Amino acid sequence: MTRVLVVTAVELETHGLARQLGLERVGGSAWPHFRGGALELLCAGPRAAHLDARAAGSATTLVVSAGVCGALSPDLAEGDLVVPEAVVGAGAVRHATAALPGLRRAGTLLTVDAVVSTAELKARLWMETGALACDMESVAIVEWARGRGLPAAVVRGVSDTSSRGVPPDLAAVVEPDGRVRTTRAVRVVLSRPGAIAEAMMLRSGTQAALKSVAAALGTVARS
């Protein structure tokens, strides 16, 4: 039986996917960690910094990098699914991804080192790399899996289109362990005009993205 380890970066993604997939919380875990059927879901923090420690002892046969991504291609809309054939990163890093039952792979996904904060930066990355979208974890997750002889795939949903980036102050509300710092988010929306509207747009895009990702993971689990 295939055991699928689904890795997210932010607890908001983990809780959202667990709820939509009907997964149960793993008792005694100090971080968001869920299981159900063929799926095991955990939060590894931004850049998957805590993956090694949090996935210790996981009996998996397939690893999936899942969650939201930012569109680089102007053709992508909020909620669109991105299942790349390969992930690319700094220094000409490129790794092919594994095929998933019921999902069609296409194009590449770029893993970046920092939040892409403006439409202009997104346009530059798209022209330079040809990648459909970007995230901050998939290369690290795929490399972690490859180091253990495991196939790895990527299933991401678009939370923000190519016409807008993620403001650095909103991105900074996520702690290094993947938790969202509510008090910091409140300070941001109170201190900067326009932050409330940006936060609401990002929230709406994130919900649409996670709905698509959950549906795709459900297809994988049933297969």
Instruction: Give the pLDDT confidence of 104-150 residue by residue, as tens digits.
Output: 999 999 999 988 989 999 999 999 999 999 999 999 999 999 999 99
Measured distance CA(8)–CA(194) in Å, rounded: 28
Q: Find where tokens 């991401």 sit.
A: 156
How would you classify the pairing of strands 62-71 and 4-8? parallel
Dist CA 102 CA 94 (whole Å): 24
Report the pLDDT value the prediction gives residue 189, as an integer from 0 to 100. 67
Q: What's the pLDDT at 153? A: 98
User: pLDDT below 50 — which residues of the chain?
Assistant: none
Per-residue exposure over 144-157, b if at least 16 CB sit within 10 Å of its own CB, e if not: bbeeeeebbbbbbb
Give, to the nearest 10 degrees, the angle between helix 11-21 and helix 195-222.
Answer: 50
The set of residues, in sequence order, having a beta carbon less than 8 Å from that of 152 and lying 6+ positions away, is 62, 63, 64, 65, 95, 97, 98, 141, 142, 144, 145, 146
pLDDT at 91: 82
Q: For 4-222, give the CATH class.
A: alpha beta
pLDDT at 124: 95
pLDDT at 173: 65
pTM equals 0.91
Question: Residue 185: what pLDDT?
Answer: 67
* The pLDDT value given to residue 199: 73
Are 160 and 205 in contact by the 8 Å Cβ rule? The answer is: yes
Kindly state the tokens that stand for 12: 């908001």
